[in-house]
Amino acid sequence: MAISYPFWLGGVAASMAASCTHPLDAVKVRMQTLESAPGSARPSTVSVIRSSISQSGFRSLYAGLTASLMRQMSYSLVRLGSYEKMKEYLSRNGRPSTLQLLLAASLAGGLGGIAGNPADIILVRMTSDLVRRPEQRYNYSNAVAGLVRLLKSEGIRGLGRGLGTNTTRAVLMNASQVCSYDLFKSKLLHRTLPIVDYKLKDNLLTHFLASCLAGTVATTVCSPADVLRSRVMATSSKTSVSQVLVRSFREEGITFLFKGWTPAFVRLGPNTVLLFVFFEQLKKAWKQTP
């Protein structure tokens, strides 16, 4: 019988991971929302990092950290907690099939996307402020203050800005990250690494390898929805997803859908590794709790 873990455990693990990788998330959002002049080369990851540090110092890489933690304790808490509960239920009748896990991860991701949408808006705005003109900046002092200002200026409807693209991204993320992690982990367990002749067990090495593969899959699958989400949430105007899509495609071509892929991978790869390593260790600690 599957062990029942606390619903909040995944949110704590995700918050721990986000605390380590937040600077990479900030750079990714800035690359996705930074508008390039027509005909000019798009900024590289290194140039965005240099620009951020030169303008506001190293602290600029941690802008929006409070929003990131708020996001993890809403979005990630729900998506990981829901998935674990669904997997626990499905495991009552034996080992769940790949399709069942995929559907469970997709549903849990959608729920997480809805729960975390307000925090996602604040996060995108706080991390992208540095690449805006001074008069266009939001200047939220922290996530809670940003949420209050968002409600005052845009009302309840403002909390749903970009909800469609964010939920789509959350579904893709959970299906490609969480589900693929479970699949890679199950495939790797008890396999023998040919070079060192080492049989993999349910330990840190297996968790690391499975999460690396899951991070690569998730970055590629989620990139288009991630770019659209960032661009829709970064504005307070009534620009629709279709308008953003058409304008971006016209000005930048189809490659805009993978803009920021490198920092997204550099961020999501370590984030996925840390997330599942922390999550597995928290589960282990919980099992050992009397």
Which pLDDT tens digit goes with each residue over 200-210?
Answer: 888 999 999 99
The answer to whether the predicted template modeling score (pTM) of the entire model surpasses 0.75 is: yes
CA distance 61 to 29: 11
Closest listed residue to residue 275, CA positions, set 93, 32, 80, 50: 80
Cα distance between residue 33 and residue 88, in whole Å: 39
Residue 283 has pLDDT above 60, yes or no: yes
Contact 56, 64 (CB under 8 A): no
More confident of the two residues 181 and 287: 181
What pLDDT does residue 136 have?
A: 86
Contact 64, 147 (CB under 8 A): no
Give the tens place of pLDDT for each residue, 181-194: 999 999 999 888 77
What confidence category does residue 11 fall into, taking pLDDT thresholds of 50, 70 and 90?
very high
pLDDT, tens digit (0-9, with 9 covering 90-100), for 19-75: 998 988 888 788 777 765 555 566 677 888 888 888 778 888 898 999 999 999 999
Long-range CB contacts for residues 48-53, cutoff 8 Å, separation at least 24? 48/131, 48/263, 51/131, 52/26, 52/27, 52/130
Q: Is the CB of residue 273 less than 8 Å from the CB of residue 212? A: yes
pLDDT at residue number 72: 96
- For residue 73, the model assigns a pLDDT of 96
| Residue 103 pLDDT | 96
Closest of 223, 222, 219, 215 to residue 180, by C-alpha: 215
Gyration radius (Cα) of the chain, Å? 19
pLDDT tens profile 90-116:
988 888 899 999 999 999 999 999 999
Q: What is the pLDDT of residues 115-132, one digit of tens each?
A: 999 999 999 899 988 888
Q: What is the DSSP letter of 266?
A: H
The whole-number pLDDT of residue 262 equals 78
Write the DSSP string, 61-96. Answer: GGTTHHHHHHHIIIIIHHHHHHHHHHHHHHGGGSSP
Beta strands in 122-187 (DSSP E): none
Assign residue 155 a region: left if phi > 0, alpha if psi is -120 to 50, beta otherwise? left
CB 277 within 8 A of CB 205: no
Say if CB 150 and CB 118 are below 8 A apart.
yes
Residue-wise pLDDT for 247-271, tens only, equals 877 777 777 777 777 777 877 888 8
Q: For 210-245, write each residue's pLDDT tens digit.
A: 999 999 899 888 888 778 877 777 776 677 777 877
Nearest to 21 by CA among 282, 279, 281, 265: 265
For residue 71, the model assigns a pLDDT of 95
Domains, the chain, ordered by start: 9-288 (1.50.40.10)
